[in-house]
Amino acid sequence: MDECTKKHVLSIIKHSGITHITESISKLAANFDISEEDLLSILKNADLNKVYDFEPIIDEISRIGNVKRCTHVIGESGAQYVFDMLADLDEFRIAVYIKIGKPNLKEIMKFLMAVYDAKIDDWLFIAFPTTEKDFSSYSTNIIEAKDINDAVKNLRVVLEDKRKGYQLQHYNHNSRSVL
């Protein structure tokens, strides 16, 4: 099982709460195409106090389009990449990377190279919790937040701007007008 799947499964479990776990093990295992035994293994070794619930980020991105978690994409180079999320919005694909903690330039560049190679239309790099904003001043696609609520608030603004931009591009493309 890859780290992306493990990270998403634990976030869902943390978000759902302990009382709902037994009811949804089969459903959760099926959603990530893993066995119930693997899922139980994750739970056995997890300290939910150290897991970050990033379901509000998933919910926010889902408002603008269809979201797939832990999406495997093969780039033009033949390399295989796993994106935390891939959102589809009116023929535009947005790759999303969720970083728990402070980001570094190497992680951002590695993600951007994957986005480019996989021919993804747009991207978002979301980092929380972090007290410093080292990279967000360089791009609105990089969100550095102190906590999940701050991340969702900033994400909402960025997504609204992106949605407007996509609609303009879609309108101009369909009407054959040139900006």
At residue 81, the 3 state secondary structure works out as strand
At residue 9, the 3 state secondary structure works out as helix
- Residues with Cβ within 8 Å of 95's Cβ and at least 6 positions away in sequence, in order, are 83, 85, 86, 111, 114, 115, 118, 120, 122, 123, 124
pLDDT at site 179: 31
pLDDT at site 78: 96
The pLDDT tens digits for 49-79 are: 777 888 888 899 888 888 998 899 999 999 9
pLDDT at site 117: 97
At residue 34, the 3 state secondary structure works out as coil
Mean pLDDT of the 145-154 span: 90
Q: Which residues pair with 128 in a beta bridge?
A: 100
User: Would you kindly state where each structural domain of the chain is located, as residue ranges?
Assistant: 3-50, 55-174
Classify each residue of 109-140 as buried b or exposed e, where b means 16 or more C-beta atoms within 10 Å of its C-beta: eebbebbebbebebbbbbbbebeeeebbeeee
Distance CA 21, CA 53 (A): 15
The pLDDT tens digits for 112-137 are: 999 999 999 999 999 988 877 888 87
Per-residue confidence band for 139, with pLDDT thresholds at 50, 70 and 90: confident
Residues counted in the chain: 179
Pick the CATH number of 55-174 from 3.40.1350.10, 3.40.1670.10, 3.30.70.1150, 3.20.20.80: 3.40.1350.10
The pLDDT tens digits for 162-178 are: 777 765 454 443 434 33
Least confident piece of the model among 15-24, 43-52, 84-93, 154-163: 15-24
